[in-house]
Amino acid sequence: MSTRPIATTRSATGIPTGKLAVWWVVGSEIVIFGGLLASYVMHRLGHPEWAEYASHTNPWFGGINTFVLLTSSLSAVLAHHAAEHGDGKKAAKWLVGTCFGGLIFICVKAVEWTIEIQHGYTITANGFWQFYYTAAGLHAMHVIAGCVIMLIIANDARKGLELHRVELIGIYWHFVDIVWIFLFPLLYIAK
């Protein structure tokens, strides 16, 4: 392992380098999801027939998943809180808890999609469902990626290393949560 360059430790803006980078990551993600969701909204408003397609989604699955993600966000922020107080072990525990939330989210999604696909609502069924699977799928990939990174960070945090990273993954996770907060009404509620 190479050591960190001096450049990384400087902070002319007053924001630590890693955190600054995460904010830029969040910014670039906003435009990725923004572009996709803007495209979806345009189509949804321009196609009255999509209302009927959309009525087949199950808001209970969406609601449960929103609950799960909101709770995992709480767990992520508690991990940050613990890390701030130098308690790496506790931070790691909360992070693993957050990951567990991500796992439940993916499992619920798997059950939900299986039922939908069995009913014939596949990605090629029509315009609504292709956006539904693309947007939710892109989001689910972010959840999975976040879980993997979180486990790595939790492993370090457990040994008391790189505790500042707990906050960074937290910011990313909250962003993923916010994306879902918007996906939920767009895909499940507005009918």
Partner 1 sequence: MAEHEEHAEHGQSHYVRIWGILLVLLTVSILGPVLAPHIEEAAAGVGAAFVKGWMITLLTAFGIAIYKAYLVAANFMHLNIEKRYISYLLATFLTLMVLFFAGTSPDVMKHKGQNWENVAAEAEVDRALKSQESDSHGGEHN
Partner 2 sequence: MDVAKQGAARVGDDPLNGIDMAEAGSVTVDTHEAHGHEAHHEQSFWSKYVFSTDHKMIAMQYMFTGIVMALIGGYMSYAFRMQLAFPGESVPGYGLVSQGEYNALVTNHGTIMIFWVAMPMLIAAFGNFLIPLMIGADDMVFPRINRLSYQIFFISAVVLIASFFVPGGGFGGAWTAYPPLSANAQYNLTPLGATFWIVAVALEFVAFLLGGINFITTLMNSRAPGMKMYDIPMVLWMIVIASILFMASVGPLIAGAVMLFMDQVIGTGFFDPNRGGDPILWQHLFWFFGHPEVYVVLLPAMGIVADVICTFARKKLFNYKLILFTVFATGIISFFVWAHHQFVAGIDPRMANVFTVTTLIISIPIAEMLFLYIATLYGGSIQLTTPMLWALAFIAEFLIGGVTGIFLGASGADIYFHDTYFVLAHFHYTFFPIAIIGFYAGITYWFPKMFGKMMNEALGKIHFWGTIIAFNCIFIPLFILGAAGQHRRIYNFQNFPDLAGLQDMRVFATMALIVMLAFQVVFLVNFVMSLIKGKPAGKNPWKANTLEWTAESPPPHGNWPEGLPNCYRGPYEYSVPGREEDYWPQNAPPDTAPAE
Which residues bind to partner 2, rule: CB under 8 A? 2-17, 20-21, 24-25, 27-36, 38-39, 42-43, 47, 49-50, 123-124, 126-127, 130-131, 134, 138
From the list partner 1, partner 2, none, pick the one residue 48 interacts with, judged by a Cβ distance below 5 to 8 Å according to partner type.
partner 1
Using the rule CB under 8 A, which residue among 8, 11, 21, 42 binds partner 1?
Answer: 42
From the list partner 1, partner 2, none, pick the one residue 156 interacts with, judged by a Cβ distance below 5 to 8 Å according to partner type.
none
From the list 29, 62, 77, 36, the residue with the least C-alpha distance to 174 is 77
From the list partner 2, partner 1, none, pick the one residue 160 interacts with, judged by a Cβ distance below 5 to 8 Å according to partner type.
none
Position 107 contacts partner 1 (CB under 8 A): no
Position 182 contacts partner 1 (CB under 8 A): yes
Query: How many Cβ atoms are within 10 Å of 3's Cβ, its own excluded?
Result: 6
Position 11 contacts partner 1 (CB under 8 A): no
Residue 171 and residue 19 in contact, taking contact as beta carbons nearer than 8 Å: yes
Question: What phi and psi, each to the nearest 5 degrees, are found at residue 120?
Answer: 90, 5
Q: Between the CA of residue 165 and those of 3, 31, 50, what are the distances in Å?
A: 16, 24, 43
Position 178 contacts partner 1 (CB under 8 A): yes
From the list 77, 83, 86, 69, the residue with the least C-alpha distance to 178 is 69
Residue 37 and residue 186 in contact, taking contact as beta carbons nearer than 8 Å: yes
Q: Torsion angle, CA of 158/160/164/169, rounded to 10 degrees? A: -10
Whichever of 68 and 91 has its CB closer to partner 2, that residue is: 91
Containing H/E element for 90? helix 88-118
Which residues here bind partner 1, judged by CB under 8 A? 13-15, 23, 26-28, 30-31, 34-35, 38-39, 41-43, 45-49, 52, 55-56, 59, 63, 66-67, 70-71, 73-74, 76-78, 81, 85, 87, 90, 126, 170-171, 174-175, 177-178, 181-182, 184-185, 189-191
